[in-house]
Amino acid sequence: MQSDTPVVKDIVLVGGGHAHVSVLRMFGMKPLPGVRLTMITRDIHTPYSGMLPGFVAGLYDCDDVHIDLGPLARFAGARLYHGEVDGLDLEQRLVHVPGRPPVHYDLLSINTGSRPRTIDVPGALEHALPVKPIDRWLQDWEALQGRVLASRGEFRLLVVGGGAGGVELALSTQHRLQSLLRERGGDPARLHYELLTDGAEILPTHNAGVRKRFTRVLRERGIEVRLNSKVVAVQARGVEVERDGFRPADAVLWVTYAAAPQWPGQSGLAVDEDGFIRVDRELRSVSHPQVFAAGDVASLPDARPKSGVFAVRQGPVLTQNLRRAAEGRPLKSYRPQKNFLGLISTGDAYAVASRGNWSWEGRLLWTWKDWIDRRFMQRFSELPEMAQAQGPELGAVADSAAIQELSTLAMRCGGCGAKVGSTVLSRVINRLPPQRREDVLIGLDAPDDAAAFEVPQGKVMVQSVDYFRAFIDDPYTFGRIAANHALGDIFAMGAEAQSALAIATVPYGREQIVEQTLSDVLSGALDTLAPTGAVLAGGHSSEGAELAFGLTVNGLIDKAALLRKGGMQPGDVLILTKPIGTGTLFAADMRGKAKGRWVDAAIRSMLVSSQQAAVCLYRYGATACTDVTGFGLLGHLVEMTRASGTDAELDLAAVPLLDGAAETVAAGILSSLQPQNLRLRRAVRNQEAVANHPLYPLLYDPQTAGGLLASVPAASAAACLEALQDVGYVHAVVIGRVVDRGESAEPILVNL
């Protein structure tokens, strides 16, 4: 979470490129009070280009070559939004990310890299395997290895692109594929490689010595190089080469010139003829002084090759300039290095060095490169101790208007005076989509002292309330999760969601920021409510120390159809619809100890609604149901056994877990609620026998927006599970069974 200092300026970083990882690290070491950082990135684990060929060659694993932006953003006190930016509103200073409200910035920095150009070659997008975006490449590469291993006879690979990337990729993929074939007793000689470039030579940005060395290496490795071979079309079985005709291929790897994303130019930023953002020597957009850009996506006055080396070097200057711009101080110039040392690998733990007119090669150079790269990566994985939270001095970040606005905060009232101001509230509510339903007689569209609902004849209203502190620094996603969490109770009862009243506490701050936060959290809640058919009918908001949000949710159901915790029948099986582990994962995240992808997957799981699950469970005759939340899986099961007058057996190994939960529990990281939940161990008959099992603590892990736990007649369990899987609950599984109430006082038996 960010510090307690009120937010005065928002710096938004788009893309987790090589320069922005430095910005995060340096802001983490030395925060700037009053500045809030937000990173928006399409990849939570961002690849380090220097090590990619080594990964492809099988010399590194995936985590070795990726910087985990989760802990890094946490270290920097930055909000991390997972999404792909597709446009800017430069007038309103908004960043557009599909699937969430626009993100406001005072200063914006773009470091989104480039991709191999596929747009101008017909068929390249459909049939070639571009090396970026990285997540697609990783899938393509995995699939390609499978195809090669499954194939019989000759397999022809064409690598298109004669720069360092193309040469490295040809050599490293060849090394890996040949090794795999050899390991499986196959014949590596059935792989045929060709490298095609439209240039008159390979490695045009390097010296003649480097070119000579690589020409030799490629020849020795049996990779045929075709110069002056411009690929003009790609087809399913090969490529069309200008003036040379068709060349057959089983796979085409695409590592051509860098292409710019279209959205910066389309948004109105000044771009060069290829679409890269034009910046001055201070890395600031030549058209929009609030916007900075670095790395491949930037076009500098003094053009340099698109290479990660430059993006890395720009990081410290960019950090300084973002700080300086926030404080209104003069900016620093970035001076690109004239010559730089390039260490280009040959895929087999051997490398060629290139600097100016000098070149060299050898195994030692690879060892050196490996050492440099690992040391670079360590800077982002082994982070220094967190900087102490700064006091509320805002220094030069706040201008006089901001200081005047903030000086009134210290004297903010409690009680009703702590409400969010009526103008802010009405502006936010006016922006929300209309909230209408026939049976909501008085709601947000015609506000009164209270909301009024109609309960149709024969139906009853079920009601539940939930409210909690934000555990992620993203008000929109938090609003979505909080609403989903609250609705879980309604669905567990088998009811249809009808309406909700919201209660929000928003951190003190400048009016614009309070308004944005409230708007984001409510938009999130509405985006969860809307697909369920429920409307927001009213609410209450106040200012406080930290963001907290909750909802009172109302549902409707035929009285006879109510599904309750009691009702389990001996012989039923227990079905759980979602994996568990959110408590330990977010406790680890707060300490910067959870991998970004674990947290990301946990958030995605918390966003899965239980609405369809409830329909399935009901259809297959569920006898009792509850949603798994704060008391943990075991706590909720105990409640069900008590209400049903039965016992239950739980198969620990069958319980689905979120990725990383076993690791964080093994590291001893547990939710602060865990000790209270643990009191329920008295309900476990064989506590002594199971207590030391490494996964046992997870049974007490409190869940946010957890799945449904239901008892279903054994005869319909298989069909019920199939139906659940069909509608997307891929982790739904039988985790135990209901048995007759026995003599023992403890209702639960845990099977290992």
Ligand X SMILES: Cc1cc2nc3c(=O)[nH]c(=O)nc-3n(C[C@H](O)[C@H](O)[C@H](O)COP(=O)(O)OP(=O)(O)OC[C@H]3O[C@@H](n4cnc5c(N)ncnc54)[C@H](O)[C@@H]3O)c2cc1C
Tell me which residues in 267-306 interact with ligand X (CB under 6 A).
295-297, 306
Residue 255 contacts ligand X per CB under 6 A: yes
| Phi and psi at residue 130, to the nearest 5° | -75, 150
The DSSP call for residue 158 is E
Closer residue to ligand X, CB minimum distance, 313 or 731: 313
Can you tell me which of 8, 12, 40, 225 binds ligand X, judged by CB under 6 A? 40
Site string for ligand X, 164-203 (x = CB under 6 A): -x--xx----------------------------------
Residue 46 contacts ligand X per CB under 6 A: yes
Closer residue to ligand X, CB minimum distance, 308 or 538: 308
User: Is the Cα torsion angle 255, 257, 260, 261 positive or negative in sign?
Assistant: negative
Residue 65 contacts ligand X per CB under 6 A: no
Residue 24 contacts ligand X per CB under 6 A: no
User: Is the Cα torsion angle 457, 459, 460, 464 positive or negative in sign?
Assistant: negative
- CA angle centred on 410, ends 406 and 412, rounded to 5°: 100
Tell me which residues in 371-430 interact with ligand X (CB under 6 A).
none
Using CB atoms within 10 Å of the CB of residue 448, give its burial: 0 to 12 exposed, 13 to 18 middle, 19+ buried.
exposed
Residue 131 contacts ligand X per CB under 6 A: yes
Closer residue to ligand X, CB minimum distance, 113 or 736: 113
Is residue 203 left, alpha or beta, with left meaning phi > 0 and alpha meaning psi from -120 to 50? left
416 is annotated as an active-site residue: yes
Least gap, CB of 75 to ligand X (angstroms) = 17
Least gap, CB of 131 to ligand X (angstroms) = 4
Closer residue to ligand X, CB minimum distance, 298 or 470: 298
The contacts of residue 615 (CB under 8 Å, 6+ apart) are none
Closer residue to ligand X, CB minimum distance, 239 or 255: 255
Residue 140 contacts ligand X per CB under 6 A: no
Least gap, CB of 446 to ligand X (angstroms) = 40
The piece of 16-24, 444-452, 498-506, 518-526 that touches ligand X (CB under 6 A) is 16-24
Residue 308 contacts ligand X per CB under 6 A: yes
Query: Binders of ligand X: how many residues, by CB under 6 A?
Result: 34
Catalytic residue, chosen from 62, 413, 416, 616, is 416
Q: Quick check: 331 and 321 in contact, CB under 8 A?
A: yes
Residue 18 contacts ligand X per CB under 6 A: yes
Least gap, CB of 378 to ligand X (angstroms) = 18
Can you tell me which of 49, 354, 484, 584 binds ligand X, judged by CB under 6 A? 49
Least gap, CB of 434 to ligand X (angstroms) = 31
Residue 670 contacts ligand X per CB under 6 A: no
Closer residue to ligand X, CB minimum distance, 309 or 389: 309
Closer residue to ligand X, CB minimum distance, 85 or 506: 85
The amino acid sitting at 572 is D
Rounded to whole angstroms, the Cα distance separating 575 from 616 reads 11
Q: Between the CA of residue 582 and those of 562, 607, 701, 706, 716, what are the distances in Å?
A: 28, 12, 7, 8, 30
Closer residue to ligand X, CB minimum distance, 84 or 439: 84
The piece of 36-44, 353-361, 708-716, 726-734 that touches ligand X (CB under 6 A) is 36-44
Can you tell me which of 50, 479, 579, 660 binds ligand X, judged by CB under 6 A? 50
Place of tokens 């045009």: 204
Six-digit token string for 209:
């010595």
Least gap, CB of 96 to ligand X (angstroms) = 10
Closer residue to ligand X, CB minimum distance, 41 or 704: 41
Least gap, CB of 384 to ligand X (angstroms) = 23
The amino acid sitting at 170 is A
CB-based contacts of 138-146 (< 8 A; 24+ apart in sequence): 138/62, 141/56, 141/173, 144/173, 144/251, 145/176, 145/177, 145/180
Closer residue to ligand X, CB minimum distance, 118 or 626: 118
Rounded to whole angstroms, the Cα distance separating 207 from 29 reads 39
Q: Quick check: 651 and 735 in contact, CB under 8 A?
A: yes
Q: Classify 617 as helix, strand or coil.
A: helix
Tell me which residues in 594-623 interact with ligand X (CB under 6 A).
none
Closer residue to ligand X, CB minimum distance, 50 or 494: 50
Residue 130 contacts ligand X per CB under 6 A: no
Rounded to whole angstroms, the Cα distance separating 700 from 632 reads 5
Rounded to whole angstroms, the Cα distance separating 364 from 353 reads 11
The contacts of residue 542 (CB under 8 Å, 6+ apart) are 418, 419, 420, 504, 505, 506
Place of tokens 């009172």: 552
The piece of 48-56, 396-404, 642-650, 721-729 that touches ligand X (CB under 6 A) is 48-56
Rounded to whole angstroms, the Cα distance separating 223 from 158 reads 10
- CA angle centred on 249, ends 243 and 254, rounded to 5°: 80
Residue 52 contacts ligand X per CB under 6 A: yes
Tell me which residues in 97-126 interact with ligand X (CB under 6 A).
111-113
Rounded to whole angstroms, the Cα distance separating 32 from 29 reads 10
Can you tell me which of 14, 482, 622, 720 binds ligand X, judged by CB under 6 A? 14
Least gap, CB of 99 to ligand X (angstroms) = 12
- CA angle centred on 535, ends 534 and 540, rounded to 5°: 125
Can you tell me which of 35, 38, 43, 595 binds ligand X, judged by CB under 6 A? 43
Least gap, CB of 161 to ligand X (angstroms) = 8
Can you tell me which of 7, 8, 19, 717 binds ligand X, judged by CB under 6 A? 19
The contacts of residue 192 (CB under 8 Å, 6+ apart) are 154, 155, 156, 157
Least gap, CB of 604 to ligand X (angstroms) = 17
Residue 54 contacts ligand X per CB under 6 A: no
Least gap, CB of 213 to ligand X (angstroms) = 16
Number of H helices, E strands in the chain: 22, 37
| Phi and psi at residue 711, to the nearest 5° | -100, 135
The sheet with strand 87-89 has its strands ordered as: 87-89, 94-96, 103-104
Q: Between the CA of residue 184 and those of 55, 174, 188, 189, 582, what are the distances in Å?
A: 20, 16, 10, 14, 41
The piece of 9-17, 484-492, 591-599, 653-661 that touches ligand X (CB under 6 A) is 9-17
Least gap, CB of 597 to ligand X (angstroms) = 13
The piece of 2-10, 41-49, 473-481, 635-643 that touches ligand X (CB under 6 A) is 41-49
Catalytic machinery residues: 416
Catalog residues that contact ligand X under the rule CB under 6 A. Answer: 14-19, 40-43, 46, 49-50, 52-53, 84-85, 111-113, 131, 165, 168-169, 255, 261, 295-297, 306-309, 311
